[in-house]
Structure 1
Amino acid sequence: MKQMHLRVDDVLYEKLNSYSSESDQSMQECVREAVAYYITDKKKKQNENSDPCFTFIDLFAGIGGMRLAYEQVGGKCVYSSEWNKYSQQTYYANFGEQPEGDITQVDAKEIPDHDILVAGFPCQPFSIAGVSKKVSMGKKTGFQDKTQGTLFFDVCRILKEKRPKAFMLENVKNLKSHDKGRTFKTIEESLEELNYKIFYAVLDGQSFVPQHRERIIIVGFDMERYGNNIDYKFDLSPIQPKPVMKDILEKKVDEKYTLSDKLWVYLQNYAAKHKAAGNGFGYGIAPLDGVSRTISARYHKDGSEILIAQRGKNPRRLTPRESARLQGFPETFLIPVSDTQAYRQFGNSVVVPLIANVAKLIINEIKSLENEPEEGRKVI
């Protein structure tokens, strides 16, 4: 993080000071945000004449895992939205663009036209861990969670206004069973009411990275454009040979990632307690020739779900770079935030090569549909 001194005239200073109070941000954060948006706008104008294979928007963008995937198969991102300021920081460092903030405050008409809508809408209201935590705190879950659970309907709002050729949504696999299936039924019906034909599958990232990570992927195609004679399949092409944990580990690791004696004793006692109670909660030592458990946003707390054994000393947690590799991020991906924020960000992100695989299948399906004679389509 670099520092610089900035002089502004009195009028501009007062406006910045006023905005700082209104937005509950420091003056420094306001200036950074303003500069980031300025550079983003300049970059967009410079790229207006480029001719991509297809365009897409990146909603609930996080640190840009989905964007990376769709860019890898020839796409151009024309709009992004992410409210978390630390994720915005990482996104900007890697893409040179500042995502727009709260999507609920964005007028869908102002979003650029695009071919594919991509969104990993917040999963905490539907995840097993997220639901358990909210219930224990007496909070609402699923669509009753007014802060995160209803953000799916902002996706619908944008689909209705912009009518892209297709969309891809990503969430935790528990979305399918949440609230005895009623949540997913609402999602299906909402998308079908918009005249999109939908397909979904629970896909495991371990075919692409050394991590057991199951996520539901929902894909939809515009039936007003293509009719309903659409037969999309999640026919993935796994990486060969299959990657294993030792492939992603760094050669030299700082001692700060080794668990303290106190934390290691606590995790062992915690695991023994739950084993005696007949359940499987506890730490996980990742097999070097196998795959790890799922990395989550809570990894920064103790690293217990994925620990690396070390000869002659306590196990260690993954480094942020190893966490990035575990999700399939390239070595060139910058990590400008603290370790705590990095663990949260990668734990909330996606398996990049898996998403790229799905993206390629979606593009191929669109090409196939657009090459099909109109008389052969069954329009509804």
Structure 2
Amino acid sequence: MINTIELFAGVGGFRIGLERANLKAKKQQYKVVWSNQWEPSTKTQHASLIYEERWGKENHANGSIEEVDVSDIPDHDLLVGGFPCQDYSVATTLKNSKGLLGKKGVLWWSIHRILSEKINKPKYLILENVDRLLKSPSNQRGRDFAVILKSLDDLGYAVEWRVINAAEYGFPQRRRRVFFIGYHKSTALYKKIKSEALDTWVLNDGLMAKSFPVSEQVVSESYFNLQGDLKEVSDAFGLGTKLSPFLNSGVLLEGKIYTAKTTANYDGEITTIKDIILSENEIPSEYFIAEEDVDKWKYLKGAKKEVRTSSSGFEYNYAEGGMIFPDALTAPSRTIITGEGGKAPSRFKHVISTKKGLRRLLPIELERLNMFPDNHTELEGVSDTKRAFLMGNALVVGIVEQIASVLAAEMN
């Protein structure tokens, strides 16, 4: 049994992926023994309420992870979570033995605190973030990811990462996110990485390569070492450079890094918007776009090159490219964003064409684009707009399922 904790759980995307890996294997490989979800900006904790409705309140904490006592978190083999993208710089050097910490409110350091304080450290980590993490901030390209890698290196983990566009592996959404897996030095998989060439691990033998194969012909690649301690990495990494050294695939082992720009190697079936939408007679009338609003949608979706005036009276030239309108039914969807819900015309909301007219997508359809169970977010007091917001914050469950299935197989 792989005892697991789920941090920044949202409505449970990681947990669903792990449970589906269990179903695929026809045995309970993963067991979630503790979870945490807290949304600081909202009074009603909608995501946590949905999580509790689906899995119960036992061993679920709805409070700030920064305030959780690590001794209250059960020992676990696997830590998973999609943590917020923030400024990960090291802010202070403490005088006591705890060493270096980042700014309060930066939730990466809550993960770091758990890993630091746990005597029995988790053997594996599966974490997710936006792909810009590899190149932020703009004045120190790649520093944020370097800080994370260095802190995990110091804690005894090897790390491999991959930027995965879900649609490139047959899933129904063009959602691009970086996933990374940590292997503690006590594990057989860590020792296996150490016994191989790093490029072989990334391109062929690693968990990412087995979960989501890539072409062996890389676009570009490089090797380098993470120099200095954590404070030095935070202060100096990426200074004076225009590009991040971190490419879309890579591995870190004992300070040594191999990174490559890889391309997906997939020739299976593709799931499209057409495959997930409801039938015509299931669509409430309010989801259809009124004829008088169509021009507003066309304007927002269209290309623009115009003079605009700021609130201070300053005139400036504004330009942006056009978007496909309506969205193509025969392709995976664009990325769902948190502003997907509501009737108001928007550049980024999905609109499809049907026999009855143009319409927006329903929450159940957004859930399907993220491969969630139908009506997973349906709960009294949770509006359709909030359900759409929750899906904009979620991940594509099939990616977690695939990584978890490969990890469980490799551990045996």
TM-score, L = length of structure 1? 0.72
Q: Distance in 1 between matches of 2:52 and 2:292?
A: 38
Partner of 2:289: 259
Q: Distance in 2 between matches of 1:60 and 1:281?
A: 35
Q: Structure 1: which amino acid aligns with 2:57?
A: E
User: Are residue 115 (structure 1) and residue 77 (structure 2) matched?
Assistant: yes
Partner of 1:294: 335
Partner of 1:344: 389
How far the C-alpha of 1:147 sits from its partner, in A, is 6.9
Are the equivalent residues in 2 in contact too, given 1:297–1:347 (CA < 8 A)? Answer: yes
CA offset digits 1:311-331 (Å, max 9, x no partner): 463x21110000000100123
RMSD: 2.5
User: Are residue 73 (structure 1) and residue 21 (structure 2) matched?
Assistant: yes
How far the C-alpha of 1:92 sits from its partner, in A, is 1.4
Aligned residue pairs total 297
Are the equivalent residues in 2 in contact too, given 1:94–1:334 (CA < 8 A)? Answer: no
Q: Which blocks of at least 5 consecutive residues in structure 1 are unaligned?
A: 1-52, 126-140, 368-380
With over 3 angstroms needed to count, the CA separation of the structure-2 counterparts of 1:319 and 1:59, relative to structure 1, is same
Match of 1:151 among 107, 118, 121: 107
Partner of 2:49: 89
Are the equivalent residues in 1 in contact too, given 2:5–2:80 (CA < 8 A)? Answer: yes
User: Are residue 318 (structure 1) and residue 368 (structure 2) matched?
Assistant: no
Q: Distance in 2 between matches of 1:264 and 1:146?
A: 46
Q: Secondary structure at the match of 1:73?
A: helix
How far the C-alpha of 1:366 sits from its partner, in A, is 2.7
Partner of 2:235: none
How far the C-alpha of 1:357 sits from its partner, in A, is 0.3
Are the equivalent residues in 2 in contact too, given 1:283–1:306 (CA < 8 A)? Answer: no
With over 3 angstroms needed to count, the CA separation of the structure-2 counterparts of 1:309 and 1:142, relative to structure 1, is farther
Partner of 1:161: 117
Q: 1:20-39 counterparts in 2 under 5 A? A: none
Partner of 2:211: 236
Q: Which blocks of at least 5 consecutive residues in structure 2 are unaligned?
A: 23-29, 40-44, 92-101, 194-200, 213-265, 307-317
CA offset digits 1:218-256 (Å, max 9, x no partner): 101001344543242312267942211111001121111
Q: Distance in 2 between matches of 1:329 and 1:267?
A: 28
Partner of 1:215: 177
Q: Secondary structure at the match of 2:338?
A: coil
Q: Distance in 2 between matches of 1:364 and 1:196?
A: 20
Q: Distance in 2 between matches of 1:118 and 1:318?
A: 30
User: Are residue 279 (structure 1) and residue 320 (structure 2) matched?
Assistant: yes
With over 3 angstroms needed to count, the CA separation of the structure-2 counterparts of 1:321 and 1:147, relative to structure 1, is farther
Higher strand share: 2
Partner of 1:61: 9
CA offset digits 1:324-378 (Å, max 9, x no partner): 00100123635112101100111111111111101112223333xxxxxxxxxxx
CA offset digits 1:21-49 (Å, max 9, x no partner): xxxxxxxxxxxxxxxxxxxxxxxxxxxxx
Are the equivalent residues in 2 in contact too, given 1:327–1:346 (CA < 8 A)? Answer: yes
User: Are residue 308 (structure 1) and residue 308 (structure 2) matched?
Assistant: no
Q: Distance in 2 between matches of 1:316 and 1:142?
A: 41
With over 3 angstroms needed to count, the CA separation of the structure-2 counterparts of 1:334 and 1:294, relative to structure 1, is closer
CA offset digits 1:269-317 (Å, max 9, x no partner): 233353675532656532111111100111125463421113463x211
Q: Distance in 1 between matches of 2:292 and 2:104?
A: 37
Q: Distance in 1 between matches of 2:327 and 2:302?
A: 18
Match of 1:184 among 140, 145, 161: 145
With over 3 angstroms needed to count, the CA separation of the structure-2 counterparts of 1:193 and 1:306, relative to structure 1, is same
Higher helix share: 1
Are the equivalent residues in 1 in contact too, given 2:125–2:183 (CA < 8 A)? Answer: yes
Q: Structure 1: which amino acid aligns with 2:360?
A: R
With over 3 angstroms needed to count, the CA separation of the structure-2 counterparts of 1:90 and 1:327, relative to structure 1, is same
Q: Distance in 2 between matches of 1:262 and 1:192?
A: 58
Q: Distance in 2 between matches of 1:346 and 1:147?
A: 27
Q: Structure 2: which amino acid aligns with 1:198?
A: V
Moved more, 229-238 or 336-345: 229-238
Q: Secondary structure at the match of 1:97?
A: coil
With over 3 angstroms needed to count, the CA separation of the structure-2 counterparts of 1:178 and 1:76, relative to structure 1, is same
Are the equivalent residues in 2 in contact too, given 1:293–1:305 (CA < 8 A)? Answer: no
Are the equivalent residues in 1 in contact too, given 2:303–2:320 (CA < 8 A)? Answer: no
Q: Secondary structure at the match of 2:283?
A: coil
Q: Structure 1: which amino acid aligns with 2:351?
A: L
Q: Distance in 1 between matches of 2:136 and 2:325?
A: 26
Q: Secondary structure at the match of 1:359?
A: helix
How far the C-alpha of 1:183 sits from its partner, in A, is 0.9
